[in-house]
């Protein structure tokens, strides 16, 4: 069987790596892939990115199943295009992907269906937005409505910052169309967790929980990034909280979409803020897996992912029971010099050790030129360590990180600190 994975990041390397473990797989194509997917003999990169051209490719190659990693092709309707041509694909339609591609859509959806989230209002008018900020006070959160590759949210700790964020989006058009409308919402305090499920239109299959590290520097200092590391499971998500998130957020979301006439299929990711009393609220939805959360999650998945995906596209996820490695998986991102503002490209990468029973390195911004691996993006690698304890998983990850070299590499030394500090 041939499978197509769409995307080029660490998430897609991890998905392709896991799919390739299935005995039933002949080839996995990754479009466009990266230096890691280029070096793995079971994977084959193809330089196609246009959704219609990918559908042509899937038809010609008799691809049994396509899995989409990133949000941009989903929001562009790649699932609609594939389905219209009778091709099997796992992901949300363009309509369903609005849960991620429009924050205003997601907020009004949550309000309509009584899904816990921060209080908000949406503005296109500059003066009205400024007036709302003055009325509400700081801290307050300003979000561009559209997709902004992680650069569309300003958590403003004072009024000056809040007004400046609104000017940047609505008046200076720094984010283009994505910032033509802004959601202004209540600041929520607490601890974040990533809650990801698979949905086949009807049935919901939760994946293992995880927690990301958004800030560039240790102790959650420095600018926001795409994510500097993640681990699974996230101990903050106790079995009780898990049940509550399913009951109050995930199930009402899938049912609410159906009520609104949109069948949700694909990965559904709820970004949660959990307050001091353990009450969860939804910060946002993504309609795909997280990056870097996918890397530790895939490292722990024992079940054949091809089989799971087949159930997902056939509407039979209710017959799947996932088996997880009981160990903790800790993913540490190694980023390029200058990340996140202006990542440098072209540094030679050396020293990546082969995969072992307790570590695996996933590539993100890498490319293979003349058999040499170079950096080609902001987040370069994600090293995953596995261990019976959080501490051991962390040690296994950092042992590998220290063996890898490229000039200017940036990484946090404290990935996993929340789980380590937790008293059980």
Site residues (CB under 5 A) for Mg ion? 271
Which residue lies nearer to Mg ion by CB, 77 or 271?
271
Q: Is position 329 an interface residue for ligand ADP (rule: CB under 6 A)?
A: no
Name the minimum Å distance from CB 71 to ligand ADP: 9
| Strand 229-232 to 221-224 pairing | unpaired
Structure tokens given for 121? 């209002």
284 binds ligand ADP (CB under 6 A): yes
Stretch that binds ligand ADP, among 57-65, 66-74, 146-154, 410-418 (CB under 6 A): 146-154
> Sign of the C-alpha dihedral, residues 277, 281, 284, 287?
positive
Give yes or no for residue 81 binding ligand ADP (CB under 6 A). no
Question: Residue 332's Cα: distance from chain center in Å?
Answer: 15
Q: Give the one residue of 74, 283, 352, 409 binding ligand ADP; rule: CB under 6 A.
A: 283
The DSSP line for 52-98 is HHHHHHHHHTT-SEEEE-SHHHHHTTHHHHHHHTT--EES--TTTTH
Choose between 88 and 107: whose C-beta lies nearer to ligand ADP. Answer: 107
Is residue 192 a contact residue for ligand ADP (CB under 6 A)?
yes
- Quote the least distance from Cβ 325 to ligand ADP, whole Å: 26
Considering CB distances under 5 to 8 angstroms, the limit depending on partner class, which of ligand ADP, Mg ion, none binds residue 141?
ligand ADP
First to last CA, the chain: 45
Q: Which CB, 139 or 271, lies closer to Mg ion? A: 271
Q: Report how far residue 316's alpha carbon sits from residue 404's, in angstroms, rounded to the nearest whole number.
A: 42
Contact 11, 292 (CB under 8 A): yes
Instruction: Answer yes or no whether residue 220 interacts with ligand ADP by CB under 6 A.
Output: no
Can you tell me the distance from the alpha carbon of 234 to that of 211, in angstroms, rounded to the nearest whole number?
6
Cα separation, 31 vs 72, in Å, equals 14
In angstroms, what is the minimal distance from the CB of 153 to Mg ion? Answer: 7
- The site that binds ligand ADP (CB under 6 A) totals a number of residues, namely 16
- Quick check: 185 binds ligand ADP (CB under 6 A)? yes
DSSP string, 265-300: EEEEEEEEEE-TTS-EEEEEEESS--TTTHHHHHHH
- Given a contact cutoff of 8 angstroms between Cβ atoms, the answer to whether 301 and 198 are in contact is no
Which residue in 116, 222, 235, 271 binds ligand ADP (CB under 6 A)?
271
Assess contact for 15 and 362: CB atoms under 8 A.
no
Cα-based distances in Å from 99 to 299, 365, 383, 387: 27, 27, 30, 35
Q: How far is the CB of 378 from Mg ion (least distance, A)?
A: 16
Q: Choose from Mg ion, ligand ADP, none: what does 385 bind? Cβ within 5-8 Å by kind.
A: none
Residue 381 · residue 333 · CB < 8 Å: yes
The reply on whether position 358 binds ligand ADP by CB under 6 A is no
Residue 319 gets which letter from DSSP? G
Cβ-based nearer residue to ligand ADP, 74 or 360: 74
Could you say whether residue 169 binds ligand ADP (CB under 6 A)?
Answer: no
Q: How do 359-363 and 366-369 pair as beta strands?
A: unpaired
153 binds, among ligand ADP, Mg ion, none (CB under 5 to 8 A by kind): ligand ADP
DSSP string over 155-222: EESSHHHHHHHHIIIIIS-TTGGGGSSEEEEE---SEEEEEEEEEESS-EEE---BEE--EEEGGGEE
- The residue from 133, 141, 198, 312 that contacts ligand ADP (CB under 6 A) is 141
Task: Compare residues 218 and 355 and give the one whose CB is closer to ligand ADP.
Answer: 218
Binding region for ligand ADP (CB under 6 A) out of 75-83, 91-99, 182-190, 337-345? 182-190
Residue number, 228 or 401, with CB nearest to ligand ADP: 228
155 is an interface residue for ligand ADP by CB under 6 A: yes
Query: Which residue in 52, 114, 131, 150 binds ligand ADP (CB under 6 A)?
Result: 150
**Under rule CB under 6 A, residue 187 binds ligand ADP:** yes
* Partner touching 150 among ligand ADP, Mg ion, none, CB below 5 to 8 Å by kind: ligand ADP
Interface positions with ligand ADP (CB under 6 A): 118, 141, 143, 150, 152-153, 155, 185-188, 192, 214, 271, 283-284
């Amino acid at each position: 069987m041939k499978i197509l994975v769409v995307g080029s990041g660490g998430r897609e390397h991890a998905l392709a790596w896991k799919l390739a473990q299935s005995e039933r797989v002949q080839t996995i194509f990754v479009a466009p892939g990266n230096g890691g997917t280029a070096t793995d003999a079971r994977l084959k990169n193809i330089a196609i990115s246009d959704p219609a051209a990918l559908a042509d490719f899937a038809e010609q190659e008799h691809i049994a199943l396509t899995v989409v990693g990133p949000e941009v092709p989903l929001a562009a309707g790649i699932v609609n295009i594939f389905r219209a041509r009778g091709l099997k694909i796992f992901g949300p339609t363009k309509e369903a992907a609005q849960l991620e591609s429009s924050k205003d859509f997601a907020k009004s959806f949550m309000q309509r269906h009584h899904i816990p989230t921060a209080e908000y209002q949406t503005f296109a008018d500059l003066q009205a937005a400024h007036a709302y900020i003055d009325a509400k006070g700081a801290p307050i959160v300003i979000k561009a409505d559209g997709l902004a590759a992680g650069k569309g949210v300003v958590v403003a700790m004072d009024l000056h910052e809040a007004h400046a964020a609104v000017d940047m989006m609505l008046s200076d058009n720094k984010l283009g169309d994505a910032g033509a409308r802004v959601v202004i919402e209540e600041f929520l305090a607490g601890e974040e967790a990533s809650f990801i499920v698979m949905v086949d239109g009807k049935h919901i299959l939760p994946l293992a929980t995880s927690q990301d590290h958004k800030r560039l520097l240790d102790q959650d200092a420095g600018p926001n990034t795409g994510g500097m590391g993640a681990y699974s499971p996230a101990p903050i998500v106790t079995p009780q909280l898990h049940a509550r998130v399913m009951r109050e957020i995930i199930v009402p979301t899938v049912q609410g979409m159906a009520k609104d006439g949109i069948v949700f299929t694909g990965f559904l990711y709820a970004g949660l803020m959990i307050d001091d009393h353990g009450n969860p609220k939804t910060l946002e939805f993504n309609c795909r897996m997280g990056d870097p959360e996918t890397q530790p999650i895939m490292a722990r998945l024992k079940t054949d992912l091809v089989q799971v995906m087949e159930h997902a596209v056939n509407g039979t996820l209710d017959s799947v029971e996932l088996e997880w490695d009981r160990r903790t998986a800790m993913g540490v991102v190694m980023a390029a010099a200058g990340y996140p503002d202006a990542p440098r490209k072209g540094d030679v990468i050396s020293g990546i050790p082969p995969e072992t029973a307790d570590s695996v390195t996933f590539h993100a911004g890498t490319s293979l030129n003349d058999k040499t691996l170079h950096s080609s993006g902001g987040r370069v690698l994600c090293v995953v360590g596995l261990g019976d304890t959080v501490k051991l998983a962390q040690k296994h990850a950092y042992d590998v990180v220290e063996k890898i070299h490229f000039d200017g590499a940036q990484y946090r030394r404290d990935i996993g600190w929340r789980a380590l500090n937790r008293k059980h």
